[in-house]
Protein backbone atom coordinates (compact mmCIF):
# COMPACT_ATOMS: atom_id res chain seq x y z
CA UNK A 1 0.00 0.00 0.00
CA UNK A 2 1.15 3.54 -0.74
CA UNK A 3 1.03 6.31 1.86
CA UNK A 4 -0.41 9.62 0.64
CA UNK A 5 2.00 11.98 2.40
CA UNK A 6 5.18 9.96 1.72
CA UNK A 7 7.67 11.41 -0.77
CA UNK A 8 9.43 8.06 -1.32
CA UNK A 9 6.08 6.40 -2.19
CA UNK A 10 5.64 9.05 -4.87
CA UNK A 11 9.22 8.69 -6.16
CA UNK A 12 9.16 4.87 -6.08
CA UNK A 13 5.92 4.80 -8.06
CA UNK A 14 7.09 7.39 -10.60
CA UNK A 15 4.70 10.18 -9.53
CA UNK A 16 7.72 12.42 -8.80
CA UNK A 17 10.63 12.20 -11.27
CA UNK A 18 14.00 10.95 -10.04
CA UNK A 19 17.38 9.92 -11.42
CA UNK A 20 16.44 6.26 -11.69
CA UNK A 21 19.13 3.60 -12.14
CA UNK A 22 16.87 0.54 -11.76
CA UNK A 23 13.14 -0.15 -11.85
CA UNK A 24 11.18 -3.41 -11.56
CA UNK A 25 7.76 -4.53 -10.32
CA UNK A 26 8.63 -4.12 -6.63
CA UNK A 27 11.59 -1.71 -6.38
CA UNK A 28 13.04 1.48 -7.82
CA UNK A 29 16.65 2.58 -7.24
CA UNK A 30 17.47 6.29 -7.51
CA UNK A 31 20.43 8.58 -6.96
CA UNK A 32 20.38 10.29 -3.56
CA UNK A 33 19.60 14.02 -3.87
CA UNK A 34 22.32 14.91 -1.31
CA UNK A 35 24.89 12.18 -1.92
CA UNK A 36 27.53 11.17 0.62
CA UNK A 37 29.72 10.42 -2.43
CA UNK A 38 29.23 10.38 -6.20
CA UNK A 39 26.98 7.49 -7.19
CA UNK A 40 25.17 7.29 -3.78
CA UNK A 41 22.08 5.25 -4.62
CA UNK A 42 18.89 4.43 -2.70
CA UNK A 43 16.76 1.31 -3.21
CA UNK A 44 13.07 1.90 -2.44
CA UNK A 45 10.23 -0.62 -2.35
CA UNK A 46 7.14 0.56 -4.27
CA UNK A 47 4.99 -0.48 -1.33
CA UNK A 48 5.20 1.64 1.84
CA UNK A 49 6.88 0.25 4.95
CA UNK A 50 8.21 2.60 7.63
CA UNK A 51 11.39 0.56 8.06
CA UNK A 52 12.92 -2.93 7.83
CA UNK A 53 11.40 -4.01 11.14
CA UNK A 54 7.85 -3.45 9.93
CA UNK A 55 8.32 -4.79 6.38
CA UNK A 56 7.38 -8.32 5.34
CA UNK A 57 10.05 -11.02 4.95
CA UNK A 58 9.87 -11.04 1.15
CA UNK A 59 10.48 -7.31 0.91
CA UNK A 60 13.38 -7.35 3.39
CA UNK A 61 15.01 -10.29 1.61
CA UNK A 62 14.47 -8.96 -1.89
CA UNK A 63 15.54 -5.38 -1.13
CA UNK A 64 18.97 -6.61 0.03
CA UNK A 65 19.30 -8.94 -2.96
CA UNK A 66 18.42 -6.04 -5.24
CA UNK A 67 20.82 -3.72 -3.40
CA UNK A 68 23.71 -6.20 -3.81
CA UNK A 69 23.02 -6.47 -7.56
CA UNK A 70 22.86 -2.68 -7.96
CA UNK A 71 25.98 -2.21 -5.78
CA UNK A 72 27.97 -4.35 -8.23
CA UNK A 73 26.87 -2.08 -11.11
CA UNK A 74 27.59 1.06 -9.07
CA UNK A 75 31.09 -0.24 -8.23
CA UNK A 76 31.89 -0.92 -11.90
CA UNK A 77 30.46 2.43 -12.99
CA UNK A 78 32.06 4.62 -10.33
CA UNK A 79 35.30 2.62 -10.14
CA UNK A 80 35.24 2.99 -6.36
CA UNK A 81 37.33 0.92 -3.92
CA UNK A 82 34.50 -0.21 -1.63
CA UNK A 83 30.77 0.16 -1.01
CA UNK A 84 28.84 0.72 2.21
CA UNK A 85 25.37 -0.85 2.14
CA UNK A 86 23.55 0.94 4.95
CA UNK A 87 19.97 0.83 6.20
CA UNK A 88 18.70 3.07 9.02
CA UNK A 89 15.71 2.28 11.25
CA UNK A 90 14.27 5.04 13.45
CA UNK A 91 15.40 8.61 14.12
CA UNK A 92 17.88 7.49 16.77
CA UNK A 93 19.58 5.43 14.04
CA UNK A 94 19.71 8.38 11.62
CA UNK A 95 16.58 7.63 9.59
CA UNK A 96 15.14 10.87 8.19
CA UNK A 97 12.74 9.52 5.56
CA UNK A 98 10.36 7.00 7.11
CA UNK A 99 9.89 4.81 4.04
CA UNK A 100 12.15 1.75 4.00
CA UNK A 101 15.27 2.27 1.88
CA UNK A 102 18.76 0.85 1.51
CA UNK A 103 21.75 3.14 0.86
CA UNK A 104 24.50 2.08 -1.56
CA UNK A 105 27.45 4.40 -0.90
CA UNK A 106 30.59 4.23 -3.07
CA UNK A 107 33.81 4.60 -1.05
CA UNK A 108 37.26 5.65 -2.20
CA UNK A 109 40.61 4.76 -0.60
CA UNK A 110 41.55 8.45 -0.79
CA UNK A 111 38.68 9.46 1.56
CA UNK A 112 39.78 10.39 5.08
CA UNK A 113 36.55 9.96 7.07
CA UNK A 114 34.58 6.79 7.51
CA UNK A 115 30.87 7.34 6.85
CA UNK A 116 29.59 4.57 9.09
CA UNK A 117 31.32 4.84 12.46
CA UNK A 118 30.73 3.81 16.05
CA UNK A 119 32.74 3.95 19.24
CA UNK A 120 33.63 0.50 20.54
CA UNK A 121 33.26 -0.22 24.25
CA UNK A 122 34.56 -3.06 26.37
CA UNK A 123 31.96 -5.73 27.00
CA UNK A 124 31.13 -7.30 30.35
CA UNK A 125 30.77 -11.13 30.11
CA UNK A 126 27.82 -11.51 32.53
CA UNK A 127 25.89 -8.67 30.89
CA UNK A 128 26.63 -10.10 27.41
CA UNK A 129 25.25 -13.50 28.48
CA UNK A 130 22.13 -11.84 29.90
CA UNK A 131 21.53 -9.75 26.74
CA UNK A 132 22.12 -12.75 24.45
CA UNK A 133 19.69 -14.90 26.44
CA UNK A 134 17.00 -12.21 26.41
CA UNK A 135 17.25 -11.65 22.63
CA UNK A 136 17.34 -15.42 21.99
CA UNK A 137 14.18 -15.86 24.10
CA UNK A 138 12.30 -13.42 21.81
CA UNK A 139 13.34 -15.54 18.82
CA UNK A 140 12.37 -18.96 20.16
P1 LIG B 1 17.91 8.25 5.82
O2 LIG B 1 18.64 9.30 6.60
O3 LIG B 1 16.43 8.28 6.09
O4 LIG B 1 18.50 6.88 5.96
O5 LIG B 1 18.15 8.64 4.30
C6 LIG B 1 17.32 9.46 3.57
C7 LIG B 1 18.08 9.85 2.31
O8 LIG B 1 17.17 10.31 1.36
C9 LIG B 1 19.11 10.96 2.54
O10 LIG B 1 20.40 10.51 2.14
C11 LIG B 1 18.60 12.11 1.67
O12 LIG B 1 19.63 12.82 1.05
C13 LIG B 1 17.74 11.40 0.66
N14 LIG B 1 16.60 12.15 0.16
C15 LIG B 1 15.70 12.86 0.91
N16 LIG B 1 14.76 13.39 0.12
C17 LIG B 1 15.06 13.00 -1.15
C18 LIG B 1 14.43 13.26 -2.43
O19 LIG B 1 13.42 13.94 -2.54
N20 LIG B 1 15.02 12.69 -3.52
C21 LIG B 1 16.16 11.93 -3.43
N22 LIG B 1 16.66 11.43 -4.57
N23 LIG B 1 16.77 11.68 -2.25
C24 LIG B 1 16.23 12.22 -1.13
ZN1 LIG C 1 6.21 5.58 1.51
Cα separation, 22 vs 43, in Å, equals: 9
Nearest CA to ligand 1 atom 12: 34
Mean pLDDT of the chain: 96
Q: How far is the CA of 37 from the centre of ligand 1 (A)?
A: 13
Torsions phi, psi for 135 (to 5 deg): -65, -45
Atom number, ligand 1, closest to the C-alpha of residue 94: 2
User: Mutate which of 96, 103, 106, 116 to test ligand 1's pocket (most atoms within 8 Å of Cβ)?
Assistant: 96
Sheet holding 20-23, edge to edge: 20-23, 27-31, 41-45, 102-107, 82-86
pLDDT of 23 higher than 90: yes
Q: How far is the CA of 9 from the centre of ligand 2 (A)?
A: 4
pLDDT of 21 higher than 90: yes
pLDDT tens figures, 86-130: 999 999 999 999 999 999 999 999 888 777 888 999 999 999 999
Amino acid sequence: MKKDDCIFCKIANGEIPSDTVYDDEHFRAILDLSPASKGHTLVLPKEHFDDALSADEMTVGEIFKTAAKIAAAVKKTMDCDGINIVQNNGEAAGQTVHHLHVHIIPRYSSEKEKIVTWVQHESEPAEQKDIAARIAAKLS
